A = this chain, B = another copy of it.
Amino acid sequence: MTLTPADESFAAPLRARLPEDTLREAEARHLEEPRGRYRGSGGLLALPRSVEEVSVLIAAAAAARVGVVPWGGGTGLVGGQTLTEGPRPLILSLERMRAIRAVHPEENVLVAEAGAILADVQAAAHDAGRLFPLSLASEGSARIGGNLATNAGGVNVLRYGNTRDLCLGLEAVLPDGRIWHGLTRLRKDNTGYDLRNLLIGSEGTLGVITAAALKLSPIPAGQGTAMLVVESPAAALELLSLAWAQLGEGVSAFELIHRQGFDFLTEVLPEVRQPFATPPEWSVLIEVGLAAGLDPSEALERLFATAAERGLVSDGVIAQSDAQRRALWTVREHLPEANRRIGSVSSHDISVPLGAVAAFIEKGGAAIARIGQFRINCFGHLGDGNLHYNVFPMPGRSRADHENQRGEIKSAVHDLVAALGGSISAEHGIGRMKVEDLERYGDPVKLAAMRAIKTALDPQGIMNPGAVLPA
């Protein structure tokens, strides 16, 4: 089905129906994405202020068969926010819909519009004495609507779940322009199919989320952070089991760091203070958040002592102050920036079952070595089985030198992931970057069901064309 360009004949009647400054020409920032791999050639930018205006815009797009690209904070890493081909689209940015509509601390609920910046949602929850646990590198510019549309992950998934686990209800505009008023604050609601979870993670291809009722949590009475040197990824997983046994759900984050990450920091971000004189081959960053009556540092010391007895850990730093906690997290948080400065040949956001993590790391290294000489920075959310497995050129070489090997590296990593029952996109989504990968590695019956659902809800294919499924 051919789409129609969002040209002046489309825009003119809309201008008459919407406030004066709602429509304009898309700016550069709406046509690019952070890694610079996708770039749109233009578009009609809409900046609605209400769900009713979103409804008017989508209904008009549906009537005219104009493609719609929902735009959140623009921080996505797989090109889901950038249409590079096809007729000029309507780019729908929700940046003006950024209100925190309500906070219900007694219910542990916050209602935010889709354009609210993630950090603002976190702050509003904190001001009410509650925690909104979604936390990721781009939280200062990512918007909650985009987090929902991509089911964003981050560092607290281990304890609090992915974004979909933090959402109770949605308000959304479906591809025919009709508004779904599903903004429930209910913990239990078994009235029909789970449209909420269908929209969450559909990357704007089934509708536009305009507001969400979000689940808050109590702020743990005390938090503690440690970076422990482990003998191997397998030992790290044993350490995680031990931590669960001792602290239950109190384990909030469990991040794996490889020596390569420390070396990259030394190389390109020497100002980041590192906790170890000699970077360890493998270490983990552990965060715990405990109930009143438990001392987090003591709990981490007890964990370290038991783990040392069992030969799982050999060294470590347990933060004794908030400043030390921040310093340890600073190391972890600068790894992506160090990676960017080095410049990867190929990056992979993958997950495997926890029991297969060690095998993945071992076999992955061997597979890459068969292709050539590379540096591998393997780090990430070990507790979720989610690794950012990034392959870099050796010192003195650049990513351009390996352009022709990128496809081979990607296939080697993804083939291995698939063989181990893993996912080729753990937390970033499919966007436009992994559409072919999904067709190749996805379950064919699930893909058929996805296409049937897409056709049923968006028969003209106007919503984010070319994302998730081939256009």
Q: Which residues of A line the B interface, CB within 8 A?
A: 104-109, 150-151, 153, 157-158, 161-162, 164-165, 174, 178-182, 184-195, 197-198, 200-202, 206, 217-218, 220-221, 237-238, 241, 244-250, 289-294, 299, 351-355, 381, 383-386, 421-430, 434, 438, 441-443, 445-450, 452-457, 468-469
Contacts and interface: CB of A to CB of B under 8 A. Distances in A.
A452 to B, nearest CB: 4
Given A109-B353, A450-B195, A184 B217 contact: no
B153 A188 contact: yes
B424 A107 contact: no
A291 B453 contact: no
A290 B299 CA distance: 14
Q: How often does this chain occur in the complex, in copies?
A: 2
A151 to B, nearest CB: 5
| 6 shortest interchain CB distances as A-B pairs | A456-B456, A197-B197, A189-B423, A188-B426, A187-B384, A107-B354
B241 A106 contact: yes
A190 B201 contact: yes
A438 B192 contact: yes
Nearest to A165: B165
Given A187-B354, A449-B457, 15 more contacts: A157-B187, A184-B423, A188-B426, A188-B427, A191-B423, A191-B425, A193-B450, A194-B202, A218-B248, A248-B289, A250-B291, A294-B294, A453-B453, A455-B456, A456-B456
B198 A193 contact: yes
A394 to B, nearest CB: 30
Given A245-B218, A299-B293, A438 B353 contact: no
A384 B185 CA distance: 10
Nearest to A441: B191
A191 B426 CA distance: 7
A383 to B, nearest CB: 8
Given A186-B423, A425-B190, A445 B249 contact: no
Nearest to A458: B452
A249 B218 contact: yes
A258 to B, nearest CB: 19
A115 B134 CA distance: 36
Contacts of A386: 187-188
Nearest to A241: B106
B355 A246 contact: no
A277 to B, nearest CB: 32
A176 to B, nearest CB: 9
Nearest to A107: B354
Given A107-B353, A445-B178, A424 B249 contact: no
Contacts of A194: 151, 164, 194, 197-198, 200-202
B353 A104 contact: yes
Given A109-B353, A353-B104, A456-B453, A430 B220 contact: no
B249 A443 contact: no
Contacts of A106: 237-238, 241, 354-355
A245 B453 CA distance: 43
